[in-house]
Structure 1
Amino acid sequence: MADIIQLLPDHVANQIAAGEVVQRPASVVKELLENAIDAKAETIKLLVKDAGKTLVQVIDDGVGMSVTDARLSFERHATSKIRSAEDLFQLNTKGFRGEALASIAAIAHVELKTKQAQEEVGTAITIEGSEIVNQDVVVTPTGTSIAVKHLFFNIPARRNFLKSNTVETRHIIDEFQRVALAHPSISFVMYHNGSEVFNLPQSNYRQRIVNIFGTKTNEKLVPVNEDTDVLKISGFVGKPEYAKKSRGEQFFFVNNRFIKSAYLNHAITAAFDGLIKDGTHASYFLNLEVNPQTIDINIHPTKTEIKFDDEHTLYAILRASVKHSLGQFNIAPVLDFDRDANLDTPYDYSNKSASTPTIEVDRTFNPFDTEPRVEPSRTTSSSSSSPSSFSGRKPASTSSWESLYVGMESKGTKSQNDFSEIQFESVESTASLFDDSQISSKQSSYQLQNKYVLSAIKSGMLVVDQNRAHQRILYEDFLRYITGKDTVSQQLLFPLQIQLSKQEHDIVLSLKSDLEYAGFVFQNFENQMVEIIGLPINVPESEVSIILEQLISDVEHEVPDANFSAADLLAKSLSKSLAIKSGQSLTQTEQDHLVNSLFACKDPNVSPKNKPTFITMTVDELDKKFM
């Protein structure tokens, strides 16, 4: 039998490796930024076109590469970070496997320009699909510039799996923020389609967070610092009142490398237990420093997951540190048995001297005296039998107790014992399970567990999910307003100002026209501030920030492909935010109106998320339950 096992060609092996390393344009951004950081760059520029599908270019002012290094950098498993297998457990750098550039070059057109400081000229290399097309000497600044063009040009099936430009841009911004947060001492600049998205100067960690997420973030941060033999923690957590429904602002960095860890995330959640509402998530930006020998960062191709030697200890230290910081800065309630707040001296009295109180005693007071006593006057002569006149509080009246009931006699000639008109308080009666007289004949629907609305139909019973049904009703209403452009707004007495981060501001700005058709009226859109002076009729003012937060989250993470319009997304997001929630009690009129409005919709069967809004149970199906 002929041999059937054979070695794969290098270009095929590179494409297989690219499937692990390069999942989307954001993966290229991550690898190139980390290489620039390892090159000791102080300024890094990222240029992106068409969400990275056309161009991803990273320019740095690092140490650069020699001619030989530039050529070797595109070979498989060529790296300057490790020399032996033991070095994998003592890593302090980013890229160490040596497959990133080789994998990228296998599925894209790559142009490299690099020069070292001591050299007069640099090297330019052009690669297309793992094949070196050109290598020349070129005049270029010190550092390295790598341009990745036409990603997945030779694998059209992989290119078809890419999402819309909005989604891919969101992933690129996420990767950029993670790298920029981990290295505040490096200046980062990002451009997308020629416009500047971020310009982050060298700063400290707090300033870097504020520069990325907006100036309002500064007042939300609570510092966390803990130094132990096992773990060193530094960074910030968000105040409980600023917890969000999305998980956008949650960052763990282990030795300046962004990681994802559900286990450590649970430690933060446990520290905030009882301080935030259910369904919301606290923000955190935490740097963890551990011994490199106690972690393994080679268990995942993207190196975003890390295996720890002793996770339980890290969990306990992290949870205790966060709780300590929340208590230290009076964010969480603290039990202190050594201090009484009632004894604190007010600021107005801090410099005043205490006055000595005067005590006056009525020496004529006799607790056994039943006769009414005359209060001695202030003008009594000195010959009075009392040693001293009493000028204190007037004693209570010793009138007879019958005076309390003067005027209580009933008017007219009725006797006090006439109870003919006495009315007793009504006691709420609970109807018997089989008492049909308690059931109103006019009631056409019933609410079950404040979640479902039950209604009788000819064939049996209708069960409506009140939340999904209301979402469908609102969705079609908003879609009709936005597309018809005939909505009515309610004007606010005072403008409503909402501070957003840079990317959140850009998202809302891109949806401005659709939001205006839905009923929002904007007055100002400058300096990452949104000023609203008008709202749709059925949108309460207190819900505006929640609605915008939900809308931004939907655009960032849940937006479908480009064949869906922004109006459709906006209608879905608004209906989800404003719909009746499960657990809300409805009156009989509201139940009937909900059912009638649902079946007046064009498509009452499903919610905007294509989930069923109601089910029916026929009499035959109910009969079978009792067989």
Structure 2
Amino acid sequence: MNDIIQLLPDSVANQIAAGEVIQRPASVVKELVENALDAGATEIIIHAKDAGKTLIQISDNGCGMSPTDARMAFERHATSKINSANDLFSIRTMGFRGEALASIAAIADVELKTKRVEDEVGTFIHIIGSEVKKQEPVACTNGTGFSIKNLFFNVPARRKFLKANTTELKHIIYEIQRIAIPNPEIKISFYHNNSPLYELPQTNYRKRIVDVFGKSINQSLVPVKEDTSLIKIHGFVGQPKFARKTVGEQFFFANGRFMRHPYFHKAVMQAYEKLLPPDTFPSYFLFFELDPGNIDINVHPTKTEIKFENDRAIWQIIHAAVRESLGKHNVVPSIDFDQSGNIDIPVPKRDASGISFPDIKVNPDYNPFNTEKSGVSFGNREFKSDRTNLGHWEDLYEGAENKTSPLHQTEQSHFDADGSDELYGKSKEQFTGKRVLQLKQKYILTPVKSGLMVIDQKRAHERILFEKFMDVLKSDSVASQQQLFPQTVELNPADAELLKSILSDLLALGFDVREFGKNTFVINGTPGVLDVSSPELIIEKLLEEYKNSPLEAKKKAKEQIAISLAKASALEYGTELKPEEVDRLIDNLFACATPNFSPDGKKVLTIIQTEDIEKSFSK
């Protein structure tokens, strides 16, 4: 039998490696910008077209390469960073494996121009699918410039799985943020389709964070600093009141390298214990400096996962440092001895002859086991202990089955209509007319014939708004409520690009939102179906919901916008509702086509059967 094991051709091996290292256009940006940092660049310029699918250009003013080095850089595992296995445990550079350029050249059309300061001319190399097409001298500036065209042109299966341009651009922006934040001394510019998204000057850490995420984040930053023999920590955390519903502004950097670390994330979150609003995440930008020998960064192809030798001790240091910073800046609540708002008790004057003291009469014959009238009088009012008063509790419920709550005085409500068949099935439960109760400002309780119905008020409102928005989108006609004072909202570049991509659909929903400068928008009008007191907050919440949407198909885009807007506009948990508002909410819910579930498929209501309630009292 013939031998069947053979070595893969380099071109195939490089494509396999590219599957690990180069997952999307953002991966190309990450690898090439990291190489520019290792080359000592102080200025990096990034251009992308069609979210990097068509073109990625990256140029720097670093040290450049010789003709031989330029050609060798495209070979697999060719690197200037390590010479032996021991070097893997003392790495301070961003790249070191020598996989990036070989992987990129295997699945794209790559052009390189590079020149060292001491060389008279530079080097030009053209590679397509790992095949060198040309290498020749060229006149160019000092440094290195890459042009990456038609990514995954020879791996159509990989290209097919790329997401929409908005999503791919978002990933590129995230990679630039992860490189720009820990390197404020580097000038970085990013242009998409010739439009500037980032033009970051050389600055300090705080100003760099503000330049990346917008001026609004500056007021929330609390500095963190802790120096120990094991690790040095510095950076910033966000104040709890500025926490957001979604993740995205949480950054750890170890020796300048971005990393993900769920264990350390938990240390930060526990430092915020009892300070955060429900289901929110604080911003943090924490920089760790420690001995490279105490960490292992060679555990993941993208180098975003790092192992720490003393992770338990570091966890405690992070937790203590964040907690201490929050305390120093009066973020942690403390006992307030301020007397403002307290009852002002007057101090009696020296001459208290005019003050009359209350006459307290005590019945010395009072016996708590005696059911007859007895008690204590206070002035002219007498408080009685009378067991016969318990009968009043029975009066509250006596004949209650026949009494109608003021909220349900109509002879037949929505809940008795044929539209409730979908909710209750053939049994067709009907409301008995008892009083509706709001529980914990989160749930609405109301009796039905088979037991007790519990409605999630926020999800119910989401369902109502979603169906309203979908009706608006289908009719293509909606009234817009113009703002008396137009509001402006400043967004980070990722959110700004996302908002641009859905502006036409927002216009159909009744929003009048227009660009108003770089990453800034003005809100002139909002949908008439919404009672909007803070339109900029609605836009920000809409983007937060939309960013986490699993839907990508364009045909679903309008539906997803309606879902996101409904979730962003719905009343929050903790909202106190008036009885008539509760009644209206229930009526509107059961007028919906699908009252059972929220727009994203979560249960809106449940019924606790009478039998189950009775069983709980049978033991």
Q: TM-score range by the shorter chain?
A: 0.7 to 0.9
1:564 matched to which residue of 2?
A: 555
Could you tell me how far 1:276 is from its partner in structure 2? Answer: 1.8
Question: In 2 relative to 1, CA 43–54 (structure 1 residues): closer, same or farther, beyond 3 Å?
Answer: same
Please, which moves more after superposition, 513-522 or 35-44?
513-522
1:453–1:465 Cα contact (<8 Å) kept: no
Q: Is the 8 A contact 1:453 1:466 kept in 2?
A: no
Q: Does 1:292 align with 2:292?
A: yes
* 1:142–1:439 CA distance, 2 compared to 1 (3 A): farther
Match of 2:564 in 1: 573
What secondary structure is seen at the aligned counterpart in 2 of 1:564?
helix
Q: State the match for 2:234 in structure 1.
A: 234
The answer to whether the 8 A contact 1:447-1:586 is kept is no
Task: State the distance in 1 between where 2:267 and 2:24 align.
Answer: 31
Change (3 A) 1:587 1:124: same
Q: Which amino acid aligns with 1:123?
A: T
Q: Is the 8 A contact 1:126 1:133 kept in 2?
A: yes
Q: What amino acid is aligned across from residue 299 of structure 1 in structure 2?
A: V
Change (3 A) 1:583 1:326: closer
2:166 corresponding residue in structure 1: 166
Q: Aligned with 1:332: secondary structure?
A: coil
| Paired position in structure 1 for 2:414 | none
Taking the TM superposition and a 5 Å limit, the aligned residue runs for 1:212-291 are 212-291=212-291
Residue type of the alignment partner of 1:150: N
Percent of aligned positions with the same letter in both sequences? 47
- In 1: Cα distance, 2:111 partner to 2:460 partner: 55
Deviation at 1:244, TM superposition (A): 1.1
AA at the equivalent of 2:351: P
Give the equivalent residue in structure 1 for 2:425: none
> What's the CA shift for 1:438?
4.7
Distance in 2 of aligned mates of 1:14 and 1:564? 36
Q: Equivalences for 1:436-455 in 2 at 5 Å?
A: 437-438=400-401, 440=403, 444=431, 451=443
Q: Which residue is 1:352 aligned to?
A: none
Deviations 1:20-70 (A, max 9, x none): 101111111100110111111111111101111111121111111111111
Task: Between 60-69 and 489-498, report the one with greater CA deviation.
Answer: 489-498
- Distance between the aligned counterparts of 1:614 and 1:303, measured in 2? 45
Paired with 1:159 and 1:617, the residues of 2 have a C-alpha distance of 50
Q: Structure 1 residues 172 and 524, CA, compared in 2 at 3 Å: closer, same or farther?
A: closer
Query: For residues 228-253 of structure 1, what are the alpha-carbon distances to aligned partners after superposition, in whole Å with 9 as ceiling and x for unaligned?
Result: 11111111111222111111111111
Return the alpha-carbon distance in structure 2 between the equivalents of residues 401 and 112 of structure 1.
Answer: 97
Aligned pairs for 1:354-373 (under 5 A) are: none
2:506 to 501, 509, 515: 515
| 1:501 partnered with 2:457 | no
* Aligned-partner Cα distance in 1 for 2:145–2:110: 10
Judged with a 3 Å threshold, the aligned counterparts in structure 2 of structure 1 residues 204 and 399 are, in CA distance, closer, same or farther, namely: closer
Give 1:507 deviation, angstroms: 3.4
**Pairwise CA distance, 1:562:** 4.1
Name the CA distance, whole Å, in 2 between partners of 1:539 and 1:233: 46
Q: Which residue of 1 aligns with 2:351?
A: 395
For residues 143 and 537 of structure 1, do their structure 2 counterparts lie closer, same or farther at Cα, with a shift above 3 Å needed? same
* Whole-Å separation in 2 of the counterparts to 1:428 and 1:578: 46
Q: Deviation at 1:184?
A: 0.8
Equivalent residue number for residue 27 of structure 2: 27
Q: AA paired with 1:28?
A: V
Mapped partners of 1:613, 1:401: distance in 2:
58
Larger-gyration structure (1/2): 1
SS at match of 2:181: helix
Q: Tell me, in whole angstroms, the C-alpha distance in 2 between the residues paired with 1:431 and 1:508.
A: 59
User: How far 1:319 sits from its partner (Å)?
Assistant: 1.3
Per-residue deviation at 1:213? 1.1
Counterparts in 2 of 1:198-213, with a 5 A limit?
Answer: 198-213=198-213
> In the aligned structure 1, how far is the partner of 2:534 from the partner of 2:271?
28
Alignment check: 8 A CA contact 2:252 2:259 kept:
yes
Aligned to 2:77: 77
C-alpha distance 430-310 of structure 1, shift in aligned 2 (>3 A): farther
Any idea what the Cα deviations from partners look like across 1:275-333, whole Å, max 9, x if unmatched? Answer: 22121111111111011000000111111010000111111111111122222223334
The equivalent of 1:407 in structure 2 is none
Aligned to 2:516: 525
Output the CA distance in 2 between the equivalents of 1:428 and 1:122. 100
Q: Give the structure 2 partner of residue 478 of structure 1.
A: 469
Shift of 1:402: 12
What displacement does 1:508 show? 3.2
Q: Structure 2 vs 1, CA of residues 455 and 193 (structure 1 numbering), >3 Å: closer, same or farther?
A: farther
Deviation at 1:142, TM superposition (A): 1.0
| Alpha-carbon distance in structure 2 between the residues aligned to 1:495 and 1:75 | 57
Separation (CA, whole Å) in 2 of partners of 1:512 and 1:488: 16
What does 1:80-479 correspond to in 2, within 5 Å? 80-333=80-333, 395-397=351-353, 437-438=400-401, 440=403, 444=431, 451=443, 467-479=458-470
Supply the distance in 2 between the matched residues of 1:164 and 1:585 (Cα, whole angstroms): 41
Would the alpha carbon gap of residues 104 and 453 (structure 1) be closer, same or farther in structure 2, given more than 3 Å must change?
Answer: farther
Residues 192 and 434 of structure 1, relative CA distance in 2, 3 Å threshold: same
The corresponding residue for 1:37 is 37
Choose from 548, 567, 577 the match for 2:539.
548
Compared CA separation, residues 519 and 451, structure 1 to 2 (3 A): same
Q: Which moved more, 1:482-491 or 1:34-43?
A: 482-491
Separation of aligned partners in 1, 2:559 and 2:25: 26
For residues 173-203 of structure 1, give each alpha carbon's deviation from its aligned partner in whole angstroms, at most 9, with x where no partner exists. Answer: 0001111112111110101111111101111
Question: Structure 1 pair 566/144, CA: closer, same or farther in 2 (3 Å)?
Answer: same
Q: Which residue of 2 aligns with 1:408?
A: none
* 1:212 counterpart SS class: helix
Q: Distance in 2 between matches of 1:108 and 1:448?
A: 60
Q: Secondary structure at the match of 2:132?
A: strand
1:48-94 Cα offsets, whole Å, 9 max, x none, are 01111111121111111111111111111110000000000000001
Is the partner of 1:119 in helix, strand or coil?
coil
Q: Distance in 1 between matches of 2:355 and 2:462?
A: 70
Within 2, Cα distance between the matches of 1:19 and 1:320?
40
Q: SS of 1:225's equivalent?
A: strand
Which residue identity is paired with 2:261? Answer: S
Equivalent runs, 1:582-597 vs 2, <5 Å: 597=588
Cα distance in 2, alignment partners of residues 393 and 513 from structure 1:
73
Structure 1 counterpart of 2:45, one-letter code = K
Give the whole-Å Cα distance in 1 for the aligned partners of 2:83 and 2:240.
47
1:373-424, Cα deviation, whole Å (9 max, x unpaired): xxxxxxxxxxxxxxxxxxx978344599999xxxxxxxxxxxxxxx9xx9x9
Contact 2:452–2:608 (CA under 8 A) maintained in structure 1: yes
- 1:170·1:556 contact (CA, 8 Å) conserved in 2? no
Q: Structure 2: which 5+ runs fail to align?
A: 340-347, 360-380, 409-430
Of stretches 582-591 and 326-335 in structure 1, the one that deviates more from structure 2 is 582-591
State the secondary structure of the residue aligned to 2:112: strand
The equivalent residue for 2:377 is none
- The more displaced of 228-237 and 603-612 is 603-612
What letter is aligned with 1:288? F
Q: Name whichever of 48-57 and 238-247 sits farther off.
A: 238-247
Q: What is residue 3 of structure 1 aligned with on the other side?
A: 3
Contact 1:224–1:235 (8 Å) recurs in 2? yes
Contact map agreement 2:241 2:277 (CA 8 A) in 1: no
Contact 2:445 2:452 in 1 (8 A): no
Note closer, same or farther for the CA distance 1:488–1:260 as it changes in structure 2 (3 Å cut): same
CA contact (8 A) 1:223 1:325 kept: yes
Q: TM-score, normalised by structure 2?
A: 0.79
Residue 216 of structure 1: CA displacement? 2.3
Pick closer, same or farther for the CA change 1:426–1:100 going to 2, 3 Å. farther
